[in-house]
Amino acid sequence: MSSSPSSGTISGAIGGDPPRRRQARSAATREALLDAALSEFAAHGFEGASTRSIAAAAGTHQPQINYHFESKDELWRAAVDHLFAQLDAAVTRHLRAMPAPTDQRERFACSVRAFVRAAAELPELNRIMVQEATIDSDRLTWIVRHHTRHRFEALTAEWHRLRSDGAVADIDDVVLYYSLVGAASLPYVNAPEARLLGHDTLDRGFIDAHADALVTLFLGEAVR
């Protein structure tokens, strides 16, 4: 709104860029910080991840974090929001790529397969969840309120319906929730350990075998 853009010079200071350019670069910096924050928080935990290394991984400088986000804490919240949005998008995409289910049990099977594939694509999500769910904190309270409670309630309610109909084994809803999420996510959360043990859990063949196995285990042989 104020400066006189002596454009042309691309290198050096950005003070001379037109407002459009500035905004584009600002948005890019923000995005890069979010992505870098996700890997760093997933790898080292909130307290173990430093804002310096996040900024470095994003190709910018540390004070940018306090400019684009108010604090390390706010950066974490924004990154987690971003990650759950990616989860929803991935699950929806995988569901759309499957033949439409014909009954409730098949629908649950599709959800399981879609969740397994999304968990493999986004290991950061379950890594962050498992690090935060481990001890009471403001971050845990926030994540439960904003992201996990409604997912937990939707999944347990769906299982409860199947159970009432006698369509599945008689297993408690909460037991089912944690067993399923744990079984679906650990191969990807612990992928670096699996590699040291000589196995590539991020291989397409593994992911498909894993998804099939969970459907068989939780819903029985009958579901395709």
Partner DNA sequence: GTCTATAATTAGATAGAC
Partner DNA sequence: GTCTATCTAATTATAGAC
**Residue ranges in contact with its own copies by CB under 8 A:** 42-48, 127, 129-136, 140-141, 144, 148-149, 152, 169, 171-172, 174-176, 178-187, 189-190, 192-197, 199, 201, 206, 209-210, 213-214, 216-218, 221
C-alpha closest to that of 54 among 120, 139, 43:
43
Partner interacting with residue 181 (select from its own copies, DNA, none; CB below 5-8 Å by kind): its own copies
Q: Which stretch binds DNA (CB under 7 A): 8-16, 103-111, 164-172, 203-211?
A: 8-16
Tally of helices (H runs) and strands (E runs) in the chain: 11, 0
Partner interacting with residue 186 (select from its own copies, DNA, none; CB below 5-8 Å by kind): its own copies
Q: How far is the CB of 173 from its own copies (least distance, A)?
A: 9
Dihedral angle over CA of 80, 24, 67, 79, nearest 10: 0
Partner interacting with residue 111 (select from its own copies, DNA, none; CB below 5-8 Å by kind): none
Q: Which is nearer to DNA, 23 or 137 (CB)?
A: 23
Long-range contacts of 80-87 (CB under 8 A, 24+ apart): 80/128, 80/143, 80/147, 81/146, 82/34, 82/38, 83/38, 83/122, 83/124, 83/125, 83/128, 84/125, 84/147, 86/122, 86/125, 87/118, 87/122, 87/125
Give the footprint of DNA on this chain (CB under 7 A): 13-15, 22-23, 25-26, 28-29, 49-53, 60-68, 71-73
